[in-house]
Amino acid sequence: MLRLDGVTKVYKVGAFGGKTMTAVDRVSFDVGIGEVVSLIGESGSGKSTIGRMILGLVPSTAGSITFDGVAVKPGKAYYRNVQGVFQDPFSSYNPVFKADRVFQMIRQEYFPGVADWDERVEAALAAVRLSPGQVLHKFPHQLSGGQLQRLLIARALLLDIKLLVADEITSMLDASTRIDVLNLLADLKSRGLGVLYITHDLSLGNYLAERTVVLRRGAVVEMGLTDLVFGGPLHPYTRQLLSAVPRLHAAWEDADPVDTCLYHDKGGSGGLLEAEPGHFVACAALPGCRGAAVSPASPSG
């Protein structure tokens, strides 16, 4: 369904744009129908930039992004199939308009002549466990963050989308609401919705996703089936992330420093090696790595 192949994003920086910064470096992965893929990495690793490129909010510098085999072209037809929900739900609403304006905009743009609109809205709200009386005709400040997030997901469901880009959508929610939203995504997945779940929280990615992509400094360092990545991490950075997850009834320990090779930090071929079926890793994790060139594998699901 969604495919990224060698996607790169370079920004011009400096007082006169004389320098460049590579935010995303030759990233390749895909998201299938009814599949949740978690994109994991620390702040500044390029996760949100990838999400914005998929949604057409910023252009890529190199590489390709395709949806159903066709190059992504932002516009009405594309957004009918692909929608995004972001970290801060309050920033997605105009505070002077009532929350149900998000549905009115969808109706005006996509369904101007539909007679059963109210029934469609009620069905979309029911799918995200909300009732019209709870949320409609209320201002954003009268609703909780969890309700606003679910309203945005309901908006996407009205379009009968195929892919949802969920960028840190639970980071501002309390623990109980967070589980509600995650269970909602799991339910939508069972109906065939593909989800790219962008997060820095490994435990949530492990809870939800079939496959995991780990980013460091804009590049993929490890990816594959979630059970393999979490159960047997190979790259030093992935092991560092997992060791930093707080554990109940255990003392906090400093994570070991990441020891990567010149191949990974300076470029090399930009490929991943298939260490085992369904498990890809940058060569820094391989025994005896000395920066030798390798042939990149095709990291598809």
* CATH tag, 2-212: 3.40.50.300
Find how far residue 11's CA is from the centre of its chain.
21
Residue length of the chain: 301
In angstroms, the CA 229 to CA 247 distance is 19
- Neighbouring residues of 51: CB distance < 8 A, sequence distance ≥ 6: 39, 84, 165, 167, 196, 198
In angstroms, the CA 137 to CA 150 distance is 16
Q: Are 37 and 223 in contact (CB under 8 A)?
A: no
DSSP code of 255?
P
pLDDT in tens, 213-266: 999 888 898 999 999 999 888 888 888 888 776 665 555 555 555 454 533 443
- Neighbouring residues of 88: CB distance < 8 A, sequence distance ≥ 6: 172
pTM of the model: 0.80
Q: Are 297 and 224 in contact (CB under 8 A)?
A: no
Percent of the chain with pLDDT over 90: 22
pLDDT in tens, 38-84: 999 888 888 999 999 999 999 999 999 999 988 988 888 898 899 88
